[in-house]
Amino acid sequence: MNIEQYRKDAEDFLSKVDKEYYLHFSGRKPDLNLDEIYKQYDYLFTFDNSQYFKKLIDTSDGDSKKKARFLFQFCTEGYLSKKYQNISDKIANNEASYKINIDGQDYAFRYSDIILSNESGLDKRRDIDSKRRQITYEIFNPDLKIYWELLHREAIELGFDNYTSLFMQLKGYDFYNLEKDMDKLVLETNDIYEDHMDRFFNRKMGFGIHDGKASDFAFIKRAKEFDIFFKKENLVSIFKENMRLLGVDMDRQKNVIMDVEERENKSPRAFCCPVKVPSEIYLVVMPSGGQDDYGAMFHEGGHAEHFANVSNRLDFEYRYLGDNSVTEGFAFCLENLAYEKEWLISLLKMDSSAANDFIYFSGLINLFFLRRYAGKLKYELKLHENLKVENMDSLYSEILTRNLIMKYYPENYLKDVDEGFYCTSYIRAWMFEAQLKDYILSKFGTGWFKSKKAGDFLKEIWSYGQKYSPEEILDFLGYKELDVNYLINNAIYLIKSEH
């Protein structure tokens, strides 16, 4: 094999895929046509290539071994995606085209999620949620069931026990050890979560968490009471100002293209598309009002700045591939500025009392998501153990409802599943960020977000792309391992410190 040519073609492929994702999910292009791109680069993703890189891992050492592992993951994931891109495109296009009737008017399925989160009326909100779940059950789930069972079968044909064991090898870490870490987090936060979330539900909704639904939490999370501080028209300027304080002038940073316009078919889930690293990065946010906009902007802005600051001298593997826990950790590093009182007062002009209230609210939201992803991991480990996905809907509802107490319905048991155990990347990123932030605060102080020296530090570690894993970066910074205790302690502190 000509590895240099493989790298060049792989980079071209990823650029075209990310551009297609950008155009479709930003609402600029109605259909997602990844299948055509996969056909064009069909030769990249063969069984023989996958086996070649797998063997190359065993016969290499040092940097060469790491690159071989990254290429093995890229090639094998591509091989899986290529075979089933038709059905994947169909699922995405159905989601983009289906409408929900609300008060006599049709709305795009994706946009209805934003309407739901802004709906204060209990009955109407739950009616919207019921309609969304009905479409998921009738339209999306039949295709999703076929899709996941095909992937399960393919993992076995590749020589693995199941989909889980395949992705543990591809990602290079043990999902079951991560499950134990998150079991510890859930156990140590059970009392504080139930107590504080129950009181919060009663104050906001007039009933306790045991009577709540996931759709009710979507409204609570919207937090309209804080909109006065998180104004839509200030979103871009505040992000740019924060970057300027860190020494990044975004007006001169031509490699980051920002897309913050509202479009009906634009995905409500913010995203970043690194079309060409580091020269063409798209930062996409769907404005819906309030603190969610800011969280999305700063999270995806963290991705964008990471990729935009990657050294162009790095090899392809380190600019595009690697452990995504790294870039997610950098994204959380900026998103979680909203947990820092000095940032809220300095950039958002909150008074001390409002900042305390928002940090308490943010602490509850943070703990909700940590416990939700602990549940997702536990459920997905079960979902992907076997070939069939029959009767897993009740298990999904049971695990998520137990971890979060509010009701999670079974219809989303296949839709609420990310490709390739991406939930593990988020969990490791939260752990990584908790320790990275511990280092940043100890070195640059609570005002680190307006320190050019802190910005220089971030630009330095951003420049390495994903050459190093979270464990390797933390080792450079003096930490022994990726340690869940930093995450647990921080989650508890956020709630207790401001209440």
In the chain, how many H helices and how many E strands?
Answer: 22, 5
- pLDDT tens-place string over residues 416-458: 999 999 999 999 999 999 999 999 999 999 999 999 999 999 9
The rounded distance, in Å, linking the Cα atoms of 344 and 342 is: 6
Q: Rounded mean pLDDT of 146-154?
A: 95
Give the contacts of 390 (CB within 8 A, at least 6 positions apart).
none
- Please give the pLDDT value at position 373: 98
Determine contact, residues 331/302, Cβ cutoff 8 Å: yes
- Please give the pLDDT value at position 498: 54
Nearest CA to 467 among 17, 64, 53, 18? 64
- Please give the pLDDT value at position 117: 87
The rounded distance, in Å, linking the Cα atoms of 442 and 6 is: 43
- pLDDT tens-place string over residues 362-409: 999 999 999 999 999 999 999 999 999 988 999 999 999 999 999 999
pTM across the whole model? 0.93
Q: Rounded mean pLDDT of 251-268?
A: 88
Give the CA-trace dihedral at 437, 443, 449, 452, to 10 degrees: -140
Determine contact, residues 199/499, Cβ cutoff 8 Å: no
Cis amide leading into 278 (omega within 30): yes
- Please give the pLDDT value at position 499: 53
- Please give the pLDDT value at position 133: 94
- Please give the pLDDT value at position 85: 81
Strands (E), 177-293: 256-259, 271-276, 280-284
- pLDDT tens-place string over residues 329-373: 999 999 999 999 999 999 999 999 999 999 999 999 999 999 999
Q: Rounded mean pLDDT of 139-143?
A: 94
Q: What percent of the chain has pLDDT over 90?
A: 82
- pLDDT tens-place string over residues 49-91: 999 999 999 999 999 999 999 999 999 999 998 888 888 888 8
Q: Give the CB-side neighbour count of residue 137, counting CA atoms within 13 A.
A: 10
- Please give the pLDDT value at position 223: 87
Per-chain mean pLDDT for the chain: 94
Give the contacts of 492 (CB within 8 A, at least 6 positions apart).
188, 189, 192
Give the contacts of 487 (CB within 8 A, at least 6 positions apart).
185, 370, 430, 431, 434
DSSP states of 427-449? HHHHHHHHHHHHHHHHHH-TTGG
Give the contacts of 190 (CB within 8 A, at least 6 positions apart).
none
- Please give the pLDDT value at position 289: 65
